[in-house]
Homo-oligomer: A and B are copies of this chain.
Amino acid sequence: MVKLTDVARAAGVGYGTASRALSGKGPVGGDARARVLEAARELGYTADATARALRERRTRSVGLIVPDMTNEFYTASAEVLQEVLRAAGHHLFVATTGNHPGRDQEALQEMAARRVDGIVHVPSGPSTAATSPVPVVELNRYSGRNVPAVVSDDYAGVKELTELVIAAGYTDIAAIVGPDTYSTSRDRLAGFKAATEQAGFSENAATGKRLRIVFSDFSAEGGASAMQTLLPDPPQALLPLSSRLVMGVLKTTREAGIRVPDDLSLAGYGDPDWFEIWGPGITTFAPPLAQMGAKAAEILLDLINGHEPTDTLSRIPGALRIRGTLGNPGIS
């Protein structure tokens, strides 16, 4: 591997001069500069980032910790996060936790050991209390630690989505939500409850407006079995509040021969691309994943540059996508 001294020697200049010429910082004679650049190009020199990191005490890299690289819910944010960071000269270290909370801590430490300049963290669970020596911003979920977080405004979004369902005239509505150890589950559930209760729905059907809530884990399997439990007495309209839950529900309705929306109305959460082409199109609340990624990157860059965090929780509004699965209550 060719190093700085090689370049300096080839250019016939001193060590430091070569360094200054390459970095552009510090004075250097136009003549010497040219010779150094030439020599560097000739020899195919690229500065050793590990040495530079040691010396400069920064790596120009940031850590990204996500539960799972295959979930569009995370990668859609990660993609633009990566773009913004790259534009600022930072590169990405990625670790996945498989939603196994113990591995959050592990990943955090690993990143710290590698001296990343900052970390974007999608927490796997509730507060993994440890404080990090490098700036952290949480994405998608907030753990309760006192760090900036960027999330979708799920409360507002799901509330609005639920209001849409209610406005369509359904009087027997159920939601499937993830474990309440996740902030996302709690926010979405709160939005659902706010809308239904405000419209006079309650868990005991006394008012004639029935509302049900089924808890499940955040997987397709979870959604499928949650739907199973509803099979004996299905609601008119169902809100599986994550795209994986939607997937699971559709597996079950499919097997059970339940037609959506003819037999069961559906409103979902998230907006993976297939929502648009499934059946009549899935009506859903789409969180602003790209914006969230960009915002998280910007906040982290600020933190890295020494700015103090201004607001610790950014809720970014998403958008309703009204398609066909809500159907028309008419006959029912």
Which A residues have a C-beta under 8 Å from some C-beta of B?
1, 46-51, 53-54, 59, 61, 64, 68-70, 72, 75-76, 78-79, 82-83, 86, 91-96, 109-110, 112-115, 133, 220, 247, 250-251, 254, 272-274, 276-279
Which of B51, B69, B133, B276 is in CB contact (< 8 Å) with A79? B69
A233 to B82, CA, bound (A): 43
Nearest Cβ on chain B to A135's Cβ, whole angstroms: 14
Given A46-B113, A49-B114, 13 additional A-B pairs, CB 8 A: A47-B113, A49-B113, A50-B114, A50-B115, A51-B54, A69-B75, A69-B79, A69-B82, A91-B95, A91-B110, A91-B114, A93-B94, A247-B273
Oligomeric state, in copies: 2
Which of B51, B91, B109 is in CB contact (< 8 Å) with A93? B91
Known: A50-B50, A50-B53, A69-B75. A251 touches B278 (CB 8 A): no
In the complex the two chains form, is B112's CB within 8 Å of A46's CB? yes
In the complex the two chains form, is A113's CB within 8 Å of B272's CB? no
A273 to B76, CA, bound (A): 17
A54 to B133, CA, bound (A): 22
In the complex the two chains form, is B79's CB within 8 Å of A75's CB? no
A148 to B17, CA, bound (A): 41
In the complex the two chains form, is A1's CB within 8 Å of B133's CB? yes
B contact residues around A110 at 8 Å (CB): 91
A98 to B, closest residue via Cβ: B83
In the complex the two chains form, is A109's CB within 8 Å of B46's CB? yes
A54 to B49, CA, bound (A): 9
